[in-house]
Amino acid sequence: MHEMGIAQELVRIALEALPRDLKDPKVASLNLRIGKLSSVVPHSLTFCFEIITRDTPLEHARLDIETVPVVIRCDTCGRQWEADTPVFRCPDCENGQVRMISGREIDIDSLTLME
């Protein structure tokens, strides 16, 4: 369970990104991209986020989480595919060396301020 640490970092980065000249900023949403293979549980992350943002500009901010699919490429034959189960073996050449193109993201893309 490392979602609390991730939530803390998320809050730190978001607060740092707020324009300094803004008086009493309120954040409406944080837009995240979380890879399907990353071991971050969105529900736990949201829970931790809600706890630590009380009385901050991030209080009541919504976490909009975009799930990024796991995309694998076989270096041996060049085949690229989206994996929906943890089977990363190349369907064409069986044992080729594979590489993950996406699916491990734990990124904050942007934040939206309240009007």
Q: What is the rounded CA–CA span in Å between residue 53 and residue 46?
A: 11
Number of residues located near Zn ion, criterion CB under 5 A: 8
CA angle centred on 62, ends 45 and 68, rounded to 5°:
60
Does position 110 interact with other proteins (CB under 8 A)? The reply is yes
d(CA 99, CA 11): 31
> Looking only at residues 79 through 108 of this chain, which bind Zn ion when binding is defined by CB under 5 A?
79, 90, 92-93, 96
Q: What is the DSSP letter of 68?
A: E
Residue 24 corresponds to which amino acid? D
Binding region for Zn ion (CB under 5 A): 74, 76-77, 79, 90, 92-93, 96
Binding region for other proteins (CB under 8 A): 1-2, 4-6, 9-10, 13-14, 17-19, 32, 37-40, 85-90, 94-98, 100, 104-113, 115
